[in-house]
A and B are shown apart, each in its own frame.
Chain A
């Protein structure tokens, strides 16, 4: 049995590793991006000089040989479904018995005039990073178009090099198609707190202008403002990379179409990760998942299916996290930007405007359905358990000490949060913290939640 995997990102690599733990199949992972698996999420830190490329590799280079996983550094140009063979750009063709396509994403471009000029790019892959390094050498002005998680990362990257940035974002508040208004406004403030960054909300890109050499010289917004710059980062999200299969018999829509067993329309061909679109997605789940976490989970679930245990992929209780400059964000369960019918929200924000906690709960039984924290760390497993068990808002508030994950000695927000609740609900029974975290965490003797 020969398992071939196209793509060495987190999905393909995770699948290969877990299959290897169970099966002695021949496993080949093919990628033209980098020779070894690296953490895409760490690209920004290479640019900022926190790490070198080597540091972003989660496994040492000997790991693959030791686990008998063949790595092929080449580009697959064609899949011959009938001969079960992959054509490579440089090397000789590779046959397979089972195939996994995990080709990830490409940057969205919405047909703006000038979007392919020199100095205009997205940031998704390692080659993108190297290009950005070249493109931002000796420039004195940059523009970012599109505000999402990559946009704020690029802003932070350019900020680390003191390059002034004009940041064009369509939304009313930063990333408010994913964050509720208060949190989105907190991100606005955090971005604007940094020098050199000029955040323009509700601003649409019209075109990108070229100089005589075909390089970007300015961006023009829809209200006619012209902003000179020598670099443009396009960060309005990503879409499945399906270039390889677009003209093949493998069914695609926006992504490669698969069911929740990652099966495509061809036997023995599977697809997973950013590049797939689920045909049977649940109502509240998006058909395309483009996160590190979902990529990893899909890789794990796919490995199990490949090994013969055909169990449907279920992403479980949702979680996600990010960092907006110095503000960390974590979310558990569902916290949509607009409050759904029948759900109420409790939102507390610190006076400094840089820490907040939001708890969404059912209006009827007050069971928590989602948690959003900014600048506060929570315990993943506890949040997941509480949501699963349908614990009430009041239960959570009284037991905040068990869910807080901030470092020892850091400021404790529990009292402020619970006082705020009591203030909002003077008619209700006044809540009290069940467990005081000691003056010093270091003297804690009774802490079951850490287990």
Chain B
């Protein structure tokens, strides 16, 4: 072959895929659209003016049909609502008295408006008698709802438009970014450049992403008034689904579900060579969309208790709270069914399913936290700490949280049955509010998701989730599930350990021919997929032989002995 011919051959192989350039272009346009959507989303926080009127106050406090934001927080039953309304009327007039200077004034700054309103609410509360006081929780709720209702201007006039230009465009752009990989890559493991990419190796872009997530959670939990515009933006959807205005929890549920669905599509594409990953990803997408998001909202629309049928105590830590029990008890046969269902899951569902399939049936197939971790968190799975030290900390922490939630719940039930809130000089209400703050909000939310780009996608599941601890105890001591190591085929490369989101040093076991039986394993199956030698297989089998001896070598007091299987 002549030089020129060879050059042509090389050019041909370089361009052998004519669709390549187009697909790349689509990919980067998608990335651009995603960022435009993100910018519009952030910018929409500044796209309204705020004008307080009597109607706004009326609507936000007494409401047309507003049953407090309640759904996610338990909600008040029908009987109490009349008393609640008159209490709210009293609060309304106290507030009206304090906000006089604000009425009719147009604020261009959200911060100025919120600041004035916060002062007014606090002052109003001081004028109220004890039984009518709002305290800080109610003040916070009013602050958010009034801010949202007081919004006026470009955003309020174009809710749908802005929804599509921000959240909609973000999702669309992300999908455009993922889809071309169907043409750009061949099916198979796609971990190229993960440790070259500043977004996934725990550097710069990762730090920015983590900070945004942490900021989002802090605002969502404690300062929702500042994202009133976002909540307003999803009002039309909320009305369509349940005929009520949106709360910050509706916004959160919607974003959470969209994240799982959009990033779930990414999983479908990335792992299209593996039926196991396709099915389990489909499963978490389904459970999030139907069970965690739609069904509870529809229940509310039907005037039934908000209930997530797949959420299990102790992850669902307020299941036994008085308002939750009262709510279920006061909701007829459906409420009773929910109560029995919830308890059956705890005492029958968890042990039985975990015995047969390991904790994966929940953690990587059903759970919402697991669902987000397995989809949105997948790009960061390699960042989990694999050291022995981390394992020690993990065991102490996760089991401490389990003990804590049992104590907290026992106290709550004690109070529920005896009416006394005092146990050994400690108020059960204090314990439960601290648990909700420290574990339920800070650990599960801010750290659990916000730390994805720093400590991997299972920070909460690994170090904090009490249900994972409970499932893990069953998995470790009474289960048929294990990851089988295939004889002596391990080459100690380390892919399995690196890509274990739970920080299990899988290689430690694999290279000595030992099956992996660990309480923390959520059975995502990625170790088995990334193994280049087919060494690992997740399976359910007889308990006998589950804990096998290391195959290669056995050391006895008398000396070294080759294990039977390997000895020739």
Chain A contacts to B: CB under 8 angstroms: 10, 18, 21-22, 39, 41-42, 45, 48-52, 55-58, 60, 141, 160, 164, 166, 193-198, 225-228, 292-293, 296-297, 300, 303-304, 307-309, 314-317, 319, 321-323, 325-326, 328, 330, 377-381, 384, 405-411, 441-442, 444, 447-448, 450-451
Give chain A nearest CB distance to B200 CB in angstroms.
9
Known: A58-B507, A293-B491. 16 other contacts (CB 8 A): A41-B493, A42-B493, A50-B495, A50-B498, A51-B494, A56-B493, A196-B13, A297-B488, A307-B560, A380-B489, A405-B537, A407-B276, A407-B528, A410-B274, A442-B540, A451-B541
Closest to B545 in A: A451
Known: A49-B195, A196-B13, A328-B532. A22 touches B555 (CB 8 A): yes
* Stretch binding the partner chain, chosen from B154-162, B183-191, B372-380, B401-409: B183-191
Tell me if A321 and B495 are in contact (CB < 8 A).
no
Whole-angstrom CA separation of A58 from B508 in the bound complex: 7
Closest to A165 in B: B13
Tell me if B568 and A314 are in contact (CB < 8 A).
yes
In the complex, whether B559 has a CB less than 8 A from a CB of chain A is yes
In the complex, whether B17 has a CB less than 8 A from a CB of chain A is yes
Tell me if B539 and A55 are in contact (CB < 8 A).
no
Residue among B192, B508, B560 making CB contact with A21, cutoff 8 Å: B560
Whole-angstrom CA separation of A409 from B560 in the bound complex: 40
Q: Which residues of A contact B484 (CB under 8 A)?
A: 405, 450
Known: A407-B525, A450-B484. A326 touches B188 (CB 8 A): yes
> 0/1 per residue, B192-214, Cβ < 8 Å to A?
11111100000000000000000
In the complex, whether B533 has a CB less than 8 A from a CB of chain A is yes
Q: Which residues of B contact A405 (CB under 8 A)?
A: 484, 486, 534, 537
Tell me if B489 and A444 are in contact (CB < 8 A).
no
Residue among B274, B357, B488 making CB contact with A442, cutoff 8 Å: B357
25 A/B residue pairs, CB under 8 Å, sorted by A:
A21-B555, A22-B555, A50-B495, A55-B498, A56-B494, A58-B508, A194-B186, A292-B491, A292-B492, A293-B489, A304-B562, A321-B489, A326-B188, A384-B565, A405-B534, A407-B528, A408-B525, A410-B275, A441-B540, A444-B539, A444-B541, A447-B540, A450-B539, A450-B542, A451-B541
Tell me if B566 and A10 are in contact (CB < 8 A).
no
Known: A49-B192, A410-B274, A451-B542. A10 touches B533 (CB 8 A): no
In the complex, whether B303 has a CB less than 8 A from a CB of chain A is no
Known: A50-B191, A50-B194. A381 touches B565 (CB 8 A): yes
Would you list which residues of chain B between 479 and 525 have a CB under 8 Å from chain A? 482, 484, 486-489, 491-495, 497-498, 507-508, 511, 525
Tell me if B487 and A379 are in contact (CB < 8 A).
yes
Tell me if B539 and A441 are in contact (CB < 8 A).
yes
Residue among B529, B560, B567 making CB contact with A316, cutoff 8 Å: B567
Whole-angstrom CA separation of A304 from B562 in the bound complex: 9
Whole-angstrom CA separation of A193 from B185 in the bound complex: 11
In the complex, whether B129 has a CB less than 8 A from a CB of chain A is no
Q: Using a Cβ–Cβ cut-off of 8 Å, how many residues does chain B contribute to the interface with A?
A: 74
Of A18, A194, A316, A451, most B-chain CB atoms within 10 Å: A451
Whole-angstrom CA separation of A21 from B555 in the bound complex: 7
Closest to A19 in B: B560
* Stretch binding the partner chain, chosen from B2-10, B63-71, B100-108, B446-454: B2-10
> 0/1 per residue, B243-279, Cβ < 8 Å to A?
0000000000000000000000000000001111001
Closest to B193 in A: A49
In the complex, whether B553 has a CB less than 8 A from a CB of chain A is yes
Chain B contacts to A: CB under 8 angstroms: 1, 3, 6-7, 9-10, 13-14, 16-17, 20, 186-189, 191-197, 273-276, 279, 357, 387-388, 482, 484, 486-489, 491-495, 497-498, 507-508, 511, 525, 528-530, 532-534, 537-542, 544-546, 548, 551-553, 555, 559-560, 562, 565-568
Tell me if A55 and B494 are in contact (CB < 8 A).
yes
Tell me if A166 and B10 are in contact (CB < 8 A).
yes
Tell me if B357 and A384 are in contact (CB < 8 A).
no
Known: A326-B186, A409-B279. A195 touches B20 (CB 8 A): yes
Residue among A10, A164, A304, A330 making CB contact with B534, cutoff 8 Å: A330
Q: Which residues of A contact B275 (CB under 8 A)?
A: 407, 409-411
Tell me if A22 and B529 are in contact (CB < 8 A).
no
Tell me if B495 and A317 are in contact (CB < 8 A).
no
Tell me if A164 and B188 are in contact (CB < 8 A).
no
Closest to A447 in B: B541
Q: Which residues of A contact B529 (CB under 8 A)?
A: 407
Known: A55-B494, A377-B486. A197 touches B13 (CB 8 A): yes
Residue among B491, B545, B567 making CB contact with A39, cutoff 8 Å: B491
Tell me if B16 and A319 are in contact (CB < 8 A).
no
Tell me if B486 and A380 are in contact (CB < 8 A).
yes
Tell me if B13 and A195 are in contact (CB < 8 A).
yes
